[in-house]
Amino acid sequence: MEYTVQKLAHLAGISSRTLRYYDEIGILKPARIASSGYRIYGQHEVDRLQQILFYRELGMSLEGIKDIINTADFDGDKALREHREKLLEKREQLDQLIENVEKTIAQKEGRITMSDKEKFAGFKRKMIEENEEKYGQEIREKYGEETVAKSNEKFMNMSQEQYDEFTKLGEEVLSTLYEAFKTGDPAGELAQKTADLHRQWLTFSWPSYSKEAHAGLAQMYVDDSRFTAYYDVKQPGAAEFLRDAVFVYTGTKK
């Protein structure tokens, strides 16, 4: 079975423009170009498009998808199994949120009593699962399975007041960090206030605090581009500045 751009776009539920763009960036080339100039796609391209759309559904960038599926050892069957696992995780997450909404409706109708902890359990579980997807492997390699499990448990057991304070502290860490960055001094008062706020923020989910672990996490912010992007989004260099401030705060040498 072969498809033109329009037919494949209609089949996949995307625009013809999207397929042409995929061709331009080299992520999905047509099988051949007909004498009429039309792009023609075969079964291989259909399967590849399915993989691309699976990855897009999981929130991956086109550049990241291209790097994966263009590798010589790309295994389509293995990728499908991985997609299935990810989708099952998303379904579980959605089921938890649906259950949470249903309980909230039932409470408002007077049919059940719902604790504050229950009200926010679904959202906290979602945060944990998102962090697992992004950073789970790296965090486990650095701190171990038991530490991560205890951290997640502590986070899930937060009261609403604690969760609000945790969120507020996270925002304060960023705002103070950007102000401190302007001073250019990681050992300065504002920078050290940022490091202390960061420590307070960590203790809401960490089972225990140590200067070594704090410094190690700060170094990860610089070593891992995903963490760096988070802190550098408004101020390039902020992640490295935070690392340096934490190193001073914990007495760790570069």
Do 36 and 30 form a contact (C-beta atoms < 8 A)?
no
- Residue 186's φ and ψ, nearest 5 degrees, are -65, -20
Whether the pLDDT of residue 202 is over 80: the answer is yes
The pLDDT of residue 133: 66
State residue 123's pLDDT score.
Answer: 58
Helix (H, G, I), strand (E, B) or coil at 150: helix
Q: Which residue has the higher pLDDT, 85 or 210?
A: 210
pTM of the model: 0.48
pLDDT over 80 (residue 177) = yes
Mean pLDDT across the stretch 151-174? Answer: 83
CA pseudo-torsion sign 160, 165, 168, 169: negative
Which tops the pLDDT comparison, 134 or 41?
Answer: 41
For position 86, what pLDDT does the model report? 77
Query: How large is the average pLDDT for residues 92-102?
Result: 71
Contacts of 91 (CB under 8 A, 6+ apart): none
CA-CA-CA-CA torsion sign (196, 202, 207, 209): negative
241: Cα within 13 Å, side-chain hemisphere: 25
pLDDT at 142 over 80: no
Express as a percent the part of the chain with pLDDT over 90.
46
pLDDT at 27 over 80: yes
The length of the chain in residues reads 254
User: pLDDT at position 245, please?
Assistant: 97
Query: Phi and psi (nearest 5°) for 39?
Result: -75, 135
Cβ burial, residue 191 (10 Å; 0-12/13-18/19+): buried
Task: Give Cα 159 distance to the centre of its chain.
Answer: 24
- The span from the CA of 110 to the CA of 8, in Å, is 51
Going by DSSP bridges, is the β-strand pair 3-4/32-33 parallel, antiparallel, or unpaired? Answer: unpaired
Residue 207: both structure tokens together: 């089972």
Residue 135 and residue 182: Cα distance in Å, rounded? 29
When mean pLDDT is compared across 11-15, 32-36, 123-127, 223-227, the lowest value belongs to: 123-127
